[in-house]
Each structure stands twice: as structure tokens, then as C-alpha cells.
Amino acid sequence: MLDILYQDEHLIAVNKPSGWLVHRSWLDRHEKVVVMQTVRDQIGQHVFTVHRLDRPTSGVLLMALSSEVARQMSQQFEHHQINKVYHAVVRGHVHEADTIDYPLVEQLDKIADKFAKQDKDAQPAISHYRGLSQVEVPIAVGPYDTARYSLVELTPQTGRKHQLRRHMKHIFHPIIGDSAYGDLRHNRAVVEHFGCQGLMLHASHLALQHPVTHQPLLISAPWDSRWQNLMTEFGWSSQCPEYNGVEINLAITQDSLVR
């Protein structure tokens, strides 16, 4: 059973666990744990994707309950009319708030994108970030006797593949648990000393205008036990956002989410 964060006759949002695929593809046709199929079985109704989260990313995942609503919501995502706020645990100390404006070349799958154009130009990619808390722990990683980590808030302005993960690597603060772009030594250290496995990237908030009622919605997804345990270990429990379910009729803006 998945945690349903919001549901009406048009939309449903769930708290996607880390490690779950959003939907099955021919590359993962034998995968048994799939969000769309689980939600369909849980509510007894077909669902339609409107956006995706990477398999290792947890948090708010929105789906439509009709093809027409799915089309409208997909347009909102394509036109950057939906605000998304993520939290991540990264290597090193991040104190500042800043913007990463760094174009990204589209990453193609060797099999699925076999016939796609291989030499595409880099596409504009913009992410905003803000350091929330920092810690230095007495564990040796590589040549250092201590390890530094930060809790950051991330807001993508564009939606490129693996954008936040690639952008944090670009500024030398890779996300902990990232096997593709992260620091493997720190990934192993966090597992060994704190028992925390997986990518520490969570889609905490999703702000949108309802496609039918046109009311503004702010949907929030609480952190799982893995996150809560690490927040306790690092002394960051006070940084856990307040999750009040779904807030309606709010003046939701980009600034209100990231400040």
C-alpha cells in the first residue's frame, strides 16, 4: 500500500518510496514493484502519468485519473508552471543560497535511445539551492579524519534528466547515496556508520493549479524513516518540514516555497 497524499476525481498524489519505478518499461519488464500498477490496484482505477521521479528518488508523485487531465497537467509541467521543492543531503558544507545555471547534454540510454541523435547540443538547465544545516562528524573518509555534510533545499527551474543530481555534482557537493554522480567513499561511509542506504533526494513539495477547479494546491510528502533516522544522527531533527497534508486556496509562488 502506498501513502496517498491527495485524491479527488481528477488527480491522485502518492509518496513514492525510494527504489520504486514509476512505470514498467520494456527494459524493466520483469520488475514487480511499480508505482502505477500499485496505485491502480489500490484504488481500482486506471491512472495516467504526468511527470516522473527517478527510481532512487522519493517523494510527491502526481498522477491523473483521465487522459484529458493528464494532458493538461503535462502541459503545466512542460511550461514550468508547477513548482517543485526537493531536499537532499550532500557532501561538504553548503551555507549559501545560489543558482546553478549550467546547461546539460541529454543523456541517452544505450538500448532505448539506440536510434536517437547522438550529438545533441546541451540544453539550458537551472536549479536553485539553499543550505539549511551543516554537520562535521568524526569519521575518516579518504584522506580526511572527519566528514562534512549539509542538508539543502533544491528547486529546479527546468526539468532535465537527473538535473539536480548532475548540478550538485557540478558544484562539488554530490548528493549522498548517488551511485551515478556521487562520491562512492562517502556513500559507503554513510551506510557503514549510520545505516542509511539509497539516494538522499526527496521531492518534498509540489505546488500547482488544479486543472479543473483552478484552485492552487500545495502537496507535501513526509520523510520516511531512513531520512528521519539520519536527521536524528546529524542533529537536524528541527529541520524536518511541517507536513500538513494538502493546503488549498493559498497564494503559492516560487518565493513562498523556497524562502
Give the active site residues.
54
Q: Give the cell for residue 48.
A: 495516467
Three-state DSSP state, 35: helix
β-strands 201-209, 58-64 pairing: parallel
β-strands 216-220, 246-248 pairing: antiparallel
Residue given cell 549510520 in the structure block:
194
The answer to whether 130 touches 258, Cβ cutoff 8 Å, is yes
Question: What gap in Å lies between CA 3 and CA 13, rounded to an integer?
Answer: 9
Write 6-9 long-range contacts (CB < 8 A, 24+).
6/217, 6/219, 6/245, 6/246, 7/43, 9/65
Residue given cell 486556496 in the structure block:
249
Q: How distant is the alpha carbon of residue 172 from its chain centre?
A: 19
Question: What gap in Å lies between CA 197 and CA 83, rounded to an integer?
Answer: 28
